[in-house]
Structure 1
Amino acid sequence: MPFDSLCKKKIFRDVPNLENIKIDKHANEIFSSVFTGMGGRYTRLRILCEIVGSSLNTLDIAKKLRIDYKTVQYNLEILENHNLVVRKGSGYGDVFTPSEIVKSNLPTLYEVIRKVEAKLEAAEKNYIE
């Protein structure tokens, strides 16, 4: 699996024993719908990876990922609606952090992404940069 990426180093570095993962069914449903079933799943994962290390606002995320501000805003709304990120603030400078469901279910998220990446690998496209 091509998980030697910056995202793996950031988001999955604290996941113990990545080969014997216990799946949380509820978290698996949420992660599967957000990161496998919708267009923009790659962008949402990149956003999540960026905010794991530090809380960032929409503009900072857009600059770091080099994607359109409105695209980041839209995908943050999806992540927020699925309770995967937490907004701190109430205006333009709002910062986002991963929610507790993400922090406490990283092994499940890893497994969902690994399954998707295995399918995409056949098409020679990596899910995570």
Structure 2
Amino acid sequence: MRSKAYAQGLSPAASNPGGTQQTGYVIETEAGRSEVDWRNLCPESQAEAEDSLTMLDYISVDASDPSLQTSVDNRYTRVGFSLPSASKPGQGCYVEYDSFGDPECTVTQVTSEC
């Protein structure tokens, strides 16, 4: 999606454009219109603008697996078998997508409880 953002003429911004300027960071994807982060042009974990797509709309997740857990907020998407609690950040068995990474979005495997 970053290449689509560049092809659309977008470039990373030095600061959050905020308000209606944020809608300028929306691109067309196969799943619908989606927002990219102004810092790095990575797809936001959960977009506020347009179709409000989440990263789960772009990945294959077996929703029929009762042991699989997911968590999505504006910055992070976590998918795995043991997600972190507020009292144990960074522990569990999951993959984390961080759309606000600087300068790049990141994907991290957490395997401390696998």
Interval of TM-score (by shorter of Structure 1 and Structure 2):
under 0.3
**Which structure has the greater CA radius of gyration?**
2
The structure with higher relative contact order (CA 8 Å, sep 6+) is: 1
Question: With structure 2 as the length reference, what TM-score do the two structures score?
Answer: 0.24
TM-score (norm 1): 0.22
Structure that is richer in helix per residue: 1
